Amino acid sequence: MSDTLARLAEVLEERKNAAPDSSYVASLYHKGLNKILEKVGEEAVETILAAKDVAAGGDVDELIYETADLWFHSLIMLAALGQHPQAVLDELDRRFGLSGHAEKAARQPSA
């Protein structure tokens, strides 16, 4: 796993024992899953808007910034539900080399 992801996952676990006023992550845990999911949705929308801007000739830095926000809040969602990012990387590894078209065809028998 990327060192950055592993370190961040460790910090997100530690923040489960931190006071909400001492840490942004702890404050989100304290507000609960609905607030965390709201943030994931908000960051997803901001990422989409930034991508549209880049396609229209805008600044790519904003897209990178918003994608980092989206990944970060997705990691908090996983941690809040007791899941480690390694599970997502394992799933991507499992899919590696498997064509999306082939996977979909195996899932959906043709009518």
Ligand X SMILES: N=c1c2ncn([C@@H]3O[C@H](COP(=O)(O)OP(=O)(O)OP(=O)(O)O)[C@@H](O)[C@H]3O)c2ncn1[C@@H]1O[C@H](COP(=O)(O)O)[C@@H](O)[C@H]1O
Q: Applying CB under 6 A, which of residues 10, 24, 41, 83 lies at the interface with ligand X?
A: 24
Site for ligand X in 54-73 (CB under 6 A): 69, 72
Nearest CB to ligand X, comparing residues 23 and 74: 23
Cβ atoms of 60 and 54 closer than 8 Å: yes
Query: 3-state DSSP helix/strand/coil percent for the chain, to nearest 5?
Result: 80, 0, 20
Cβ atoms of 74 and 40 closer than 8 Å: yes
Q: Does 48 interact with ligand X (rule: CB under 6 A)?
A: no
Q: Tell me the C-alpha distance between 21 and 108, whole Å.
A: 49
Q: Applying CB under 6 A, which of residues 5, 23, 54, 62 lies at the interface with ligand X?
A: 23
CB under 6 A: which stretch of 18-26, 56-64, 78-86, 89-97 binds ligand X? 18-26
Q: For residue 18, what is the DSSP state?
A: S
Write out the residues near ligand X by the rule CB under 6 A: 8, 11, 15, 23-26, 39, 69, 72
